Amino acid sequence: MQKEPKHCTFEVKRQSMKLFIVPTPIGNLEDITLRAISTLKNVDLILAEDTRTSGKLLKHYEISTPMQSHHMHNEHKTLDGILKKLTNGIQIALISDAGTPAISDPGFLLTRACIAHNIPVECLPGATAFVPALVNSGLPNDRFIFEGFLPIKKGRQARLKVLAQEQRTIVLYESPHKVLKTLAQICEFFGEERQLSISRELTKLFEETKRGTAKDILNYYTAKPAKGEIVIVISGC
């Protein structure tokens, strides 16, 4: 019997290649989906933002799939190597430390490159911090704008001036050591009476949501410094 040409084997491999974008819990490990666990167990490789952090999650669910570091400081350098692995027929899952990859986390560059190279991409539904924060805020959520993290320096004030005129509800991410600066700027550009909601440590033991005027929220966190990951939800004008 005549052997199949080598190019046929390559085509078979290409049929199985796929990048899975897999959301992971933002705090409570029980928030992972059954499908996410199954996917992480069955892929050939997991790309993790921090292998030490993700290692705890994988150990908890007895997932032994090999991991490779993939974060904002190395994603440009490792991109070609990952694409080569995918085109050789393997399946890879991308996870971040918490939540959905590519939402204020690494993932966009790899997703775009896979699409450009006709590599299938599948994003699983799952946890992301801004959704529960927005719903829990009590502010209008039929239309909203997600801004992620504000610019650190260049363009920050210009962006705040634009957002101050936004009619839709605004969602921001912020780190605890910058939250007072951001709240002070919201008071300055949006007005002290603008309604806010801040959620922090979502799904964790010390989860907290504070609602009120920008001035009230600033005073609260000035007296009681915020800890943990923070989502700021601002009412439209």
Tens-place pLDDT, residues 72-103:
888 889 999 999 999 999 999 999 999 999 99
- pLDDT score of 8: 34
Given a cut of 50, whether residue 32 has pLDDT beyond it is: yes
216/136 same-domain check? yes
Residue after which a domain boundary falls, among 73, 103, 123: 123
Q: Is residue 98 part of a domain?
A: yes
Tokens read off for 98: 């918490």
Residue 20: its H or E element: strand 18-21
**Range of 62's domain?**
6-123
Both 203 and 141 in a single domain? yes
Residue-wise pLDDT tens digits, 100-121: 999 988 899 999 999 999 999 9
Clarify whether residues 134 and 155 are in a common domain. yes
Radius of gyration of the chain (CA): 21
| Together in a domain, 150 and 225 | yes
Under 8 Å between Cβ of 27 and 204: yes
199 with 233: CB under 8 angstroms? yes
| Tokens matching residue 25 | 């819990």
The answer to whether 58 and 107 have CB atoms below 8 angstroms apart is: no
91 and 134 housed in the same domain: no
